[in-house]
A and B are shown apart, each in its own frame.
Chain A
Amino acid sequence: MPDFKPFIVIGLALGGVYAMSGVGLVVLYRTTGVLNLFYGAVGAVGSLTAWELINEHGWNNWLAFAAAVLLGGVLTLLYGWFLGPPLADRDPLVKASASLGFALILLGFMQWYWTADVRSLKLPTSDWQYVNGWFRINWTQGLGMLFPIAIALITVVFLNQTKVGTAMRALADNRDNAALLGIPVRKVEAWAWFGSGVLFGVGGLLLASLVSMEIAALSFTLPIAALAAALIGRVNSLPVTVMAAFVIGLIQSSLGAMQSVAQYRNTTPFIAAIIVLLYFGWRGQTEGRVA
C-alpha cells in the first residue's frame, strides 16, 4: 500500500493554485463572456518580472511581488479595455481565440526577452515550514491551499453585496439590458478584467514558486488544470470550480504514489474536464428530448 500522506499536502497545494486562476476565469467569463486563455501567460510575465526586479535590480521581494501582481492586473485590463468592446458581440469561441492570440504574443515576447535561462523564484513563505511525522508543509503550500478559498468567499460576497458586484452580475445576465438600466458597462467590465488579472498574477507567482519558471510551462502547460476546473464549474459556479481544482490537484498528486499509474497522472485535468463536458452535453441532449 503506497504511502499517500506526503502526496495529499502536495496535491492540495497544487489544487489551490489551480483554484486561484479558476476563480479569475469564472468571474471574468460571468462578467464579460470571455473565456480567457492568456491567464497563464499573464501570470508568467508577472513572475518573470518579479524575478528580474529582485535579481537584476535589487528590489525588495515584497515590492517586486506586488509589482508582478499589479502588472497582471494592468495587462489584463489593457486587453479588456481595448479589445473587449470590439469583440463584445462576437461568438464566445472567437473571443476565446482572440485571447489565445494575446497569449501567443506574450509567449513570444517572454521567449525573446527572458530566453531559456535557468531561474528560480522563491517566495519568503517557502522558508517557513511545519513538519511532523505525518506531513511537511511550507507556508507557500499553505497559502496555495487557503488563499483561493478566501478569494472565492470574498468574491461571492463582493458579487452579492457591493454595487460593482451587483453590476457585474447584471452584466452577466444581459449586457444590453444592463446598459439600458444605466450601468456603466465599460467601467464595470474594467473592474472585472483588472480583478481577474490580479488573481492571474498571484496564481503565476505561486505556480512559479511551487512548480517551475519555465516560460512555456507557466504560460500553457501548467495552468491548463485551472481551465479544466473552470469548465467543470461550467465557467459559472465558483464553489464547484474551487472544489474541482482541489480534487484535480489531489487526484493528480495521489496517482504519483502509485507506480503503476504514476506516469498518467498529468492527464487528470484533461480526463476530468472531458468527462464532465461530455456529461453536460449528454444531459443537455437528454433534457432536450424530454422537453
Chain B
Amino acid sequence: MAKGTTGSSSLWKKLLLLLAVFSLIAASCGSDDDSGETAAEEPAAEEPAAEEPAAEEPAAEEPAAEEPAAEEPAAEPAAPSGDMIIEPGACGLNTGEAATGEPIKLGGAATNIPGVDFTWIPKMAAIYFDCVNANGGIYGNPIEYSFEDGAPDPAAWQAIATKLVEDDQVLAIVGNTSLLECDVNTEYYAENGYSPIIAGVAPGCFLNDTWSAVNMGPYYSNLGGAQAAVRKGAAGKLVVASPDQPGMDFNNSSVEDMANIAGLDYEGILEAVPIADPAGFAQRLVDAAGEGGGVVLNFTGPTVLPLLEAISQQGLVDSVIWASSTPPNDPSVAQALLDCCGTDWDGKFLINAEFNVLDSGLPDNNTMLETHEAAGADFPISAFSQMGYLVGKFTTEALLRMGEGAEYNVETVNAAISSLTNAESDMLCKPWYFSNNLGTGNVSNNTDRTVVPQGGAMVQFEDCFEIQETDNNPLAAIRAAEG
C-alpha cells in the first residue's frame, strides 16, 4: 500500500514536471509580436526651437477624413529633388548589364525566432542588391551582401557584430533589424567607424546618431494612430494595447502624450501574445475606452487579425474608434478581414502607415513587387519588405554618390552613408536623410499616412501628416533642423 502510494505520488510529481516543461515550450513558442520596433527609454527631448511653428493641433472636432476610395491612387510621387542618381523604380544605374568588378562587401543581421522573423528586411535588401548588380552595380562593382540571424540574446548580438566587422570585414552595416541590437552594439559600431542604416527596433535605434532607421518605430507609429483616432472623433478616453514585452510601456506612452494634448483620459494595456481569448480581450478594450473612445492597437498582423475578427463577431466595431500602429498595413490583412468579416471593417480600422500602401502602383513599389516575385522570395510582401527595399535603395544611392572610381573602405563608405540626404522614394512622404547630428537620435521618417482596409485592400484614408510633436519627443527640434 505504501509502495503504491509512493508510486502515485511520484507519478503526480512527474505530471507536474511535465506541465512545467510543456508550459515553458508553449511560452517559448509564443509570438513575441514585436511590431517591428521598440523603444524603452525616453527619447532625449530637445527644447523646441522658439521659431518652430506650433505643433499641429489635434482637433477632435475636426471633420473626419473623407471615405476612402479603393480605386483612387494613393499619392502622387514626390517631385525629384535633383539629388537622386537612382531614377524612381530603378535598380541602381539601371544599365541592364551585370556588374563584374571588385565586390563591395556589406553585411547585416536580423532577429529570427519563432513568431518574430525580421530576416524579411535583409532578405528584401538582398533582392534589391541583386537587381542592382544585374544593372551595372556601383559603377561596375557588384554589391556582395550577406546577413546573419540571431536570437534576442545580447551576447549573440555582440558576437554577430564582431563577426561582421572583424571576420567578414564588411564595409557597412546594412538592414539590421533586431529586438535589442541598438541597445547593445552602439558603442562598438561607433568605435569602429560604422554608421548602420537599418530598420529600427530597439530603443537605441532612435536615441542616438550612430544608427539611422528608414522607419519610425512603434513609439511614433502609435502616436500617429492616436492622432488619426482623435481626428476621427475619439472622445472621452484613449486606450492603447501593446504586447507585454520590455519597452512596450514606453511605446504606449506616446499615446498618453496625445491623450493629454487632446484633453482625453488615458489607459495603457500590455497583453500577453498570442492573445488567448480575443473575444474577451476585445470586450475589455471597449469597456476600458468607453462608448465613443479611441483604441490604438500595437500588434503584428497575425496577432491583430483574430482580435479584429472577435471585435466584429461581438458587434463591437462601432463601439469605439479603432486605430493601429504600422504592422497591419498589409494587403493580406485586408483580404483576411474581408474573408472573415465582410465589409464590417471597411474604412474603420485606422492604421498609421510609415510607408505608402503596398499596391500604390508607384515606381518603387512596383519594382519591389516585381523583384520580390522574380526572386521567388519565401516571405510575404509587407511593411517589412518596404523597409528592406528602402535600406537597399538608400545604401545604393549613397554608394553611387561617392562617384565613379571612388575608393571603397569602411571610412569612405560610412561617410557616404552617414551624410546621405534628400534620399527619395514614393514609399515615403518626404525625402529621407541619415542624420541631422542633433544628438537627439534620428527620426528622419516622421511624416506618415493613415490607411484603412477597404474591399480587401489597404487604401489611403489620410494623406501625409506630421507625427505630433510633444514635450516628450524631439520632433520639434528635428523638424527645426530639417528646415
Contact = CB atoms under 8 A, between A and B. Distances in A.
A7 B283 contact: yes
B163 interface: no
A185 interface: no
B50 interface: no
Nearest to A126: B313
B287 A257 contact: yes
Contacts of A221: 26-27, 29-30, 274, 276
A172 interface: no
Interface stretch (A64-72, A150-158, A193-201, A277-285): A277-285
Interface stretch (B83-91, B298-306, B426-434): B298-306
B262 to A, nearest CB: 22
Contact of B5 (A11, A111, A291): A291
A230 B379 CA distance: 38
B330 A118 contact: yes
Nearest to A13: B279
B115 interface: yes
Interface stretch (A162-170, A209-217, A239-247): A209-217
Q: Which of B6, B31, B315 has the most CB of A within 10 A?
A: B31
Nearest to A35: B18
Q: How large is the interface on A (under 10, 10 to 19, 20 to 34, 35 or more residues)?
A: 35 or more
Interface in A258-291: 259, 262-263, 265-266, 270, 273-274, 277-278, 280-281, 284-285, 287-288, 291
Interface stretch (B41-49, B331-339, B456-464): B331-339
B280 A256 contact: yes
A253 B340 contact: no
Given A6-B314, A219-B29, A256-B284, A116 B19 contact: no
A33 B6 CA distance: 19
A129 B15 CA distance: 40
A211 B306 contact: yes
B408 interface: no
A190 interface: no
Interface in B98-127: 114-115, 117
B67 interface: no
A92 interface: yes
Contacts of A212: 274-275, 278, 302-303, 306
Given A115-B378, A118-B330, A281-B16, 11 more contacts: A14-B280, A138-B313, A216-B30, A216-B115, A216-B274, A217-B30, A273-B19, A277-B15, A288-B9, A291-B1, A291-B2
Interface of A: 2-3, 6-7, 10-11, 13-14, 35, 37, 55, 92-93, 96, 100, 107, 111, 115-120, 122, 126, 129, 131, 136, 138, 210-214, 216-217, 219-222, 224, 227-228, 231, 235, 252-253, 256-257, 259, 262-263, 265-266, 270, 273-274, 277-278, 280-281, 284-285, 287-288, 291
